[in-house]
Structure 1
Amino acid sequence: MDYENNFNFLTPYIGNDEQILWKGKPGKGNIFSGRDIVMLPFSIMWLSFCLVWEYTAIKSGSSIFFMLWGLPFIGVGIYMLFGGFIRKARLKNKTYYVITNKKIIIKSGNNIELYNGKDLPPMRIKLHKNGSGTITFNEDIYNTRGRVRSTYCMLENLADVVQAQRAVSRMLEEGAGTVDDIF
């Protein structure tokens, strides 16, 4: 399928007075996120425990019930260890980003998200070692436990992160329209 044809979904979401400033998709690699730092050790411990359980059940000659009991837990452990990365990689191939003079549009699989430029929290740019970058719009929310950083939206792993950042800056400078203009 042609690269431009992948952006055909845009037509109903672009107004007559709206222009596309930038469009792109996430690059390959960088599917490891901060959340994975917590999940990876837990997944390894879970899977290890389940494998030891299954090995012990088989070696001790336990009943078929105990031998089969561990299999679903092994499946869950394998999914926790590898499934998330596979799912992220597959979804990344179906993700497209568009920045117009009024909004950001993110299509991820069959989901389309529209973010009004006027409502965007401050932009943060993280540069990766391979030269790509991620643009994140974060809000700091304060509760009784202190400050919690909440991600509003994210343009991940962009090869041309500078061009995307310039498009966001231009959108914000042009005033980003009103909510009625977007919908």
Structure 2
Amino acid sequence: MNDSDIRSFFMPGEKLLWSGRPAQGILLTSQDFLLVPFSLFWGGFAIFWESTAISTEAPIFMKLWGIPFVLMGLYIMAGRFFVDAAARARTESVVTDRRLIIRRSGLFRHFSTSQLELLPSLSLEEGSRGTGTIKFGVPSNRRMSGWTPGLANQPQLLGIDNARQVYSLLEQARSECRNR
């Protein structure tokens, strides 16, 4: 993805205010405080169940029964971090004087655009060193947003640098849109 690609979605006269990408690599969020222990419990139990079923003379049904649970356990313990990193590596966000544009390419392709004045609310989760996440509105679909933040349906600028400055820029742009 490059600037010329995302600019093809601009409307006539639309001005770029900010563009960026989410944090790259493995990203822990505040939700991981609960998700990591749960995933270790789930995955550990599933692996224990499956290894016990395989090492004993359990019926074949019992041996097969645990496989999906082990696979899910492996995903929530470790795989989700890699899926999330891959999704964020292919995500680009743009704030213009009128809209928020978020585009993700690759396997989990997604494109969204929102008029700034129609976004219901902004929230800032600021971390150390000025990085943070700006979320827009109330989450509508939480299926994957906790486990894999990069795949959340809720518009967000996830793990961006200078989050407070971008938040202020958004608030100012929203105000100007409403006053037009």
Verify the 8 A CA contact 2:124 2:164 in the aligned structure 1: no
| 1:25 aligned residue (17, 21, 25) | 21
Which structure 1 segments of 5+ residues have no match? 142-150, 179-183
CA RMSD of aligned residues (A): 2.9
Taking the aligned partners of 1:65 and 1:139, their CA distance within structure 2 comes to 43
Where does residue 129 of structure 1 map in the other structure? 128
Where does residue 51 of structure 1 map in the other structure? 47
Structure with greater strand share of residues? 1
Q: Tell me how far 1:139 sits from its aligned partner.
A: 4.3
Provide Cα deviations, 1:98-128, integer angstroms capped at 9, x if missing partner: 0000011011232111010111223222211
Q: Identity rate of aligned residues, in percent?
A: 27
Correspondences of 1:2-41 after superposition (within 5 Å): 6-28=2-24, 31-41=27-37
Scaled by the length of structure 1, what TM-score is found? 0.75
Where does residue 117 of structure 1 map in the other structure? 116
Q: Tell me how far 1:64 sits from its aligned partner.
A: 4.6
Q: Which secondary structure does the structure 2 equivalent of 1:130 belong to?
A: helix
Deviates more, 1:53-62 or 1:43-52: 53-62
Taking the aligned partners of 1:63 and 1:88, their CA distance within structure 2 comes to 37
Taking the aligned partners of 1:176 and 1:10, their CA distance within structure 2 comes to 25
Partner amino acid, structure 2, of 1:76: M
Provide Cα deviations, 1:121-152, integer angstroms capped at 9, x if missing partner: 232222112331222223499xxxxxxxxx95
Question: Runs ≥4 in structure 1, deviation > 4 angstroms?
Answer: none
Where does residue 85 of structure 1 map in the other structure? 81
Taking the aligned partners of 1:86 and 1:15, their CA distance within structure 2 comes to 35
1:76 equivalent in alignment to 2:72: yes
Distance 1:130 1:102, change over 3 A: same
Q: Tell me how far 1:83 sits from its aligned partner.
A: 1.9
Taking the aligned partners of 1:61 and 1:91, their CA distance within structure 2 comes to 42
Larger radius of gyration: 1
Taking the aligned partners of 1:53 and 1:175, their CA distance within structure 2 comes to 57
Scaled by the length of structure 2, what TM-score is found? 0.76
Q: Which secondary structure does the structure 2 equivalent of 1:28 belong to?
A: coil
Which structure 2 segments of 5+ residues have no match? 141-152
Partner amino acid, structure 2, of 1:21: L
